């Protein structure tokens, strides 16, 4: 029985102005143990987030991803799969739980099959399954990621290292919001002046996060006109919290599609966050994960 362990980080996409282009890997992890067995069928156990909610058979997302990956690699489907999930990434909160599952499933299938499947192919398949590269890229590679698609439609990424003085803080509500719902609120077209505004802010955000994490620069760099105010009616508590945090000088944005709020904490702002949050939110202080997904065979640990 071949077994592999895969650890995948949470991610935050968009980061304010970098809609569908910027992503950050966070030090909050899901861990899976996957094995191919001679027994027919699938056996799945889930601990932590999603326990008692997600499918435990062929309908489990990671199992479906593994099956698809085996097919793409041209290897026979295994007789049996045993999967154990230890989940810490909240579901439907804008922290990349589905991207983490997709990446974990692809990497587990590649490791267990031993087939030739490059990192670029992993990235392309993960992007195809998830729909956008801005979550899967930091999940796979870690760090701060700029992601885009080239003229052929293939996903590409550049990895950057944020300044170590920047600490991401996730403010996680109990309420959930499906990505499809949040994306459905976006208009088909936006004003040219708003697109121009976001281009400048996204460029400034890269400079602020990697070189000059000053409170004033980060606050200006996290302004957005492309998506957050359109989605605000679906997450009024998040929109209100962001407004209050920014009013006291804390750079705060919607994490991914929400409703989690991501704040960038520095020495100037770390004491300003908690008083604005209240009891309805879980405050999760994190680091930037520098390496992304990790794959190990148990005997090599």
Residue 35 lies in a domain: yes
pLDDT in tens, 70-94: 999 999 999 899 999 999 999 999 9
Q: Is 71 annotated as a binding residue?
A: no
Examine residue 188 and state whether it is found in any structural domain, yes or no: yes
Determine if residue 108 is labeled as part of a ligand binding site.
Answer: no
Query: Does the residue 301 lie in any domain?
Result: no
97 is in an annotated binding site: yes
For residues 241 and 213, state if they share a domain: yes
pLDDT in tens, 191-243: 999 999 999 999 999 999 999 998 889 999 999 999 999 999 999 999 999 99
What is the rounded distance in angstroms from the CA atom of residue 301 to the CA atom of residue 193? Answer: 53
> Do residues 98 and 247 share a domain?
no
Q: Per the annotation, does 91 bind a ligand?
A: yes
What is the C-alpha separation between 32 and 147, in angstroms, rounded?
26
95 is in an annotated binding site: yes
Tokens 């992993």 -> residue: 122
pLDDT at 1: 66
Q: Could you tell me the residue range of the domain that residue 184 belongs to?
A: 167-285
Q: 240 and 198, same structural domain?
A: yes
For residue 184, the model assigns a pLDDT of: 86
**For position 223, what pLDDT does the model report?**
97
Do 216 and 84 share a structural domain?
A: no
Kindly give, in sequence order, each residue whose CB lies less than 8 Å from that of residue 145, ignoring residues fewer than 6 positions away. Answer: 22, 23, 24, 25, 134, 137, 138, 157, 158, 159, 160
Together in a domain, 86 and 224: no
Return the H-helix or E-strand segment holding 103. helix 97-113
196 in a structural domain: yes
Query: Does the annotation list 255 as a binding residue?
Result: no
In a domain, 70, yes or no: yes
**Burial of 290 from C-beta contacts in 10 A (0-12 / 13-18 / 19+):** middle
| Whether residue 109 sits in one domain with residue 77 | yes
Residue 175 within any structural domain of the chain: yes
Q: Report yes or no on whether pTM surpasses 0.85.
A: yes
Ligand-binding site membership of 82 (annotated) = no
The CATH number of residue 258's host domain is 3.30.70.890
155 shares its domain with 181: no
96 known member of a binding site = yes
> Mean pLDDT across the stretch 1-21?
94
Domain co-membership, 152 together with 201: no
What's the domain count of the chain? 2
25 and 134 belong to one structural domain:
yes
**Average pLDDT taken over every residue of the chain:** 93
78 assigned to a ligand binding site: no
CATH of residue 141: 3.30.230.10
Co-location of 172 and 278 in the same domain: yes
202 annotated to bind ligand: no
Is the peptide bond between 139 and the residue preceding it cis, with omega within 30 degrees of 0? no
What is the model's pLDDT at position 301?
44
Instruction: Confirm or deny that 114 is annotated as ligand binding.
Output: no
């Amino acid at each position: 029985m071949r077994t592999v362990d895969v650890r995948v980080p949470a991610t935050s996409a968009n980061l304010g102005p970098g809609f569908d282009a910027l992503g950050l890997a966070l030090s909050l992890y899901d861990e899976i143990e996957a094995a191919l067995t001679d027994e027919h069928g699938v056996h799945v156990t889930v601990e932590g987030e999603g326990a008692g909610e997600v499918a435990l058979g062929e309908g489990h997302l990671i199992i479906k991803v593994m099956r698809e990956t085996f097919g793409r690699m041209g290897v026979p489907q295994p007789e049996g799969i045993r999967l154990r999930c230890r989940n810490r990434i909240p579901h439907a909160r804008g922290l990349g739980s589905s991207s983490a599952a997709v990446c974990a499933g692809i990497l587990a299938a590649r490791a267990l099959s031993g087939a030739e499947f490059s990192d670029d192919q992993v990235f392309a398949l993960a992007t195809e399954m998830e729909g956008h590269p801005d979550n899967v890229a930091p999940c796979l590679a870690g760090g701060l990621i700029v992601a885009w698609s080239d003229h052929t439609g293939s996903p590409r990424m550049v990895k950057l290292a944020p300044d170590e003085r920047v600490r991401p803080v996730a403010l996680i509500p109990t309420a959930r919001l499906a990505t499809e719902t949040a994306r459905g609120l976006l208009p088909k077209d936006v004003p040219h002046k708003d697109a121009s505004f976001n281009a400048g802010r996204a460029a400034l955000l890269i400079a602020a996060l990697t070189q000059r994490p000053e409170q004033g620069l980060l606050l200006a760099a996290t302004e957005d006109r492309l998506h957050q105010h359109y989605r605000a009616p679906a997450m009024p508590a998040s929109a209100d919290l962001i407004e209050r945090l920014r009013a006291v000088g804390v750079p705060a944005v919607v994490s991914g599609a929400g409703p989690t709020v991501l704040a960038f904490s520095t020495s100037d702002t770390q004491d300003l966050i908690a008083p604005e949050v209240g009891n309805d939110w879980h405050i999760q202080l994190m680091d930037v994960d520098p390496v992304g997904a990790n794959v190990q065979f148990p005997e090599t640990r």
